[in-house]
Structure 1
């Protein structure tokens, strides 16, 4: 019985690691220019984004879809998807939730405004790491993350990430 409890404790304490293989960002040319998205860090676990916004964004609708694939499967299967009001999330963030942990990991080293409208100019996110915010129920698998951002029902930014989640 004690061995079972020790095993369960270690399982719940197991950390997840991320390694990104591909990071692609596509932004409408009427919204931005000079956009850079790249993977960094020794383990390829950090994300960096810089974008020069050409226009103010006063409404942000966000769609996030996370899909997983287990080896040797060829197809990704939807694990989770959600649509939310981005302006509400950045201004009314409830601390301690999974979403707030992810959001805080993303904006920790950025100049991301904490309310809308998002003014034109340089927006940057440096060394984003969401490993500590990963939920324990996320399985070790290959991962595909797709995020679409809309302003006034028009897609202005598409972000795609492909990588792998493993146990530490």
Structure 2
């Protein structure tokens, strides 16, 4: 009888631990946000970190040329100690036009995409016409899955149109537990 009681207590404690673990949130603090765009593609470009905790990203630019094909490369690197080098955690290349027009809702990628474009005027299909494009208060904290470890991050995103690099975005920051 004692063993059944002890096993029940252990199960309850395990459930409490699991519930607490799944409710843990991740926070991001960005230290550096750099955008480089070819002058033939855009001018008046601003990339800034904002928010009280430096967790929000803002981008504004005046697109000078229509983009009918967008190839995107994303590389995410992390490190767990500031003295160690960054190591590639994940990288992917994809057709940006397909992503913005054929997004399957409910996936991790769609959650990240929706977090980025929530407060923007980004077109939802190609071609992307010339003119002012903005992204205000981008926050991906709520879209971060729990399996993402607490670590320092370095994110590089390259955008190509017809095999020519037109935009490079670099982010450096840190993921912590709330």
Q: Say whether residues 1:114 and 2:139 are aligned partners.
A: no
Q: What do residues 107-166 of structure 1 show as CA deviations (whole Å, max 9, x unaligned)?
A: 000000000000000000000000000111110000111100000000000000000000
Which residue number in structure 2 is paired with residue 147 of structure 1?
Answer: 157
- Name the structure with the higher helix share: 2
* Structure 2 residue aligned with 1:87: 97
Q: How many residue pairs align between the two structures?
A: 168
Inter-partner Cα distance in structure 2 for 1:144 and 1:65 = 8
Unmatched segments (≥5 aa) in structure 1: none
Equivalent position of 1:20 in the other structure: 30
In the alignment, the residues of structure 1 paired with residue 34 and residue 101 of structure 2 have an alpha-carbon distance, to the nearest angstrom, of: 27
Q: Among residues 45, 48, 66, which one is paired with 1:56 in the alignment? A: 66
* TM-score, normalisation: structure 2: 0.93
Largest Rg, 1 or 2: 2
Q: Are 1:158 and 2:168 matched, yes or no?
A: yes
TM-score (norm 1): 0.98
Aligned position for 2:56: 46
In structure 2, the gaps of 5 or more residues are: 1-10
Q: Which runs of 4+ in 1 moved over 2 A?
A: none
C-alpha spacing 1:91/1:4, structure 2 compared with 1 (3 Å): same
Q: CA deviation at 1:4?
A: 1.4
What is the rounded CA distance, in whole Å, between the counterparts of 1:64 and 1:12 in structure 2? 27
Partner residue of 1:66? 76
Secondary structure of the residue aligned to 1:35 is strand
RMSD value, Cα: 0.7
Q: Post-superposition shift, 1:73?
A: 3.6
SS state at 2:110 partner: helix
